[in-house]
């Protein structure tokens, strides 16, 4: 049983590399079918999605464009809590088919902020692909069109996902050990 420690926490393997790749094969098969003729633009949400984005997009066999954005969170002045601002979208996405590439969708707050901002830029369509999806935690209504792997509410690291900045380089996904 493979284990890693990151800072003060121990993790054990949860999803093997081969399983991750199989799951990406399945979603990329669907995306290839759905976007064969529409020259989509993949918008990858940094930092966590970089590994998934690479593996997903290299399996896409038609014309496409790729860009990246970052979501900066800061506390708002009102009681609504954290406000999220997008950094780095320079491409025009007006009238384009957009595929958002996320590492993980948990409550959906980040995703909702991203979709709301992108919608202001007038895309033809927006769909969502994510490596990991936590349906039990999801509290929004935006459809999760291409979820590679559904998981429970546990905290995971590896394959792009971090614990305090560490673990993004791991090829497998690990779960925290209590
Ligand atoms: P949401 O806005 O959907 O609640 O949360 C999305 C963000 O929370 C992700 O982009 C990620 O940064 C973080 N997150 C949620 N669940 C996990 C997890 O299991 N592991 C790690 N490393 N980050 C997570
Ligand atoms: Mg993320």
Question: For the chain, which domains are there?
Answer: 17-177 (3.40.50.2020)
Residue 103 has pLDDT above 90, yes or no: yes
pLDDT band at 1 (very low <50, low <70, confident <90, very high): confident
Under the banding of pLDDT at 50, 70 and 90, the label for residue 41 is very high
Q: Is the pLDDT of residue 119 over 70?
A: yes
pLDDT in tens, 134-166: 999 999 999 999 999 999 999 999 999 999 999
Ligand 1 pocket residue status of 167, Cβ below 6 Å: no
Q: Residue 77: its pLDDT value, please?
A: 47
**pLDDT for the residue numbered 78:** 46
The answer to whether 32 and 38 are in contact (CB under 8 A) is no
Q: How far is the CA of 84 from the centre of ligand 2 (A)?
A: 12
**Looking at per-residue confidence, does 49 or 86 come out higher?**
49
Average pLDDT over residues 116-131: 96
Residue 23 main-chain phi, psi, to 5 deg: -65, -35
Q: Taking Cα atoms as reference points, which of 37, 86, 27 lies closest to residue 57? A: 27
Average pLDDT value for residue range 111-120: 94
> Over the stretch 57-68, which tens digit does the pLDDT of each residue have?
999 999 999 999
Looking at the CA of 106, name the nearest ligand. Answer: 1
The finding on whether 162 has its CB within 6 A of some atom of ligand 1 is: yes
């Amino acid at each position: 049983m493979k284990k890693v420690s990151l800072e003060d926490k121990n993790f054990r393997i949860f999803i093997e590399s081969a399983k991750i790749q199989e799951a990406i094969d399945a979603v990329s098969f669907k995306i290839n079918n759905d976007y064969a003729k529409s020259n989509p633009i993949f918008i990858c949400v940094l930092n966590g999605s970089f590994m998934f984005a690479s593996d997903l997009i290299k399996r896409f066999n038609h014309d496409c464009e790729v860009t990246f954005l970052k979501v900066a969170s800061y506390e708002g002045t009102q009681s609504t809590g954290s406000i999220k601002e997008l950094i780095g979208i320079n491409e025009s996405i007006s009238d384009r088919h957009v595929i958002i590439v996320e590492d993980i969708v948990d409550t959906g707050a980040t995703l909702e902020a991203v979709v709301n901002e992108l919608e202001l830029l007038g895309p033809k369509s927006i769909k969502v692909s994510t490596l990991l999806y936590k349906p039990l935690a999801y509290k929004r209504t935006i459809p999760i069109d291409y979820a590679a792997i559904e998981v429970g509410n546990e905290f995971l690291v590896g394959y792009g996902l971090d614990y305090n900045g560490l673990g993004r380089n791991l090829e497998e996904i690990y779960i925290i050990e209590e």
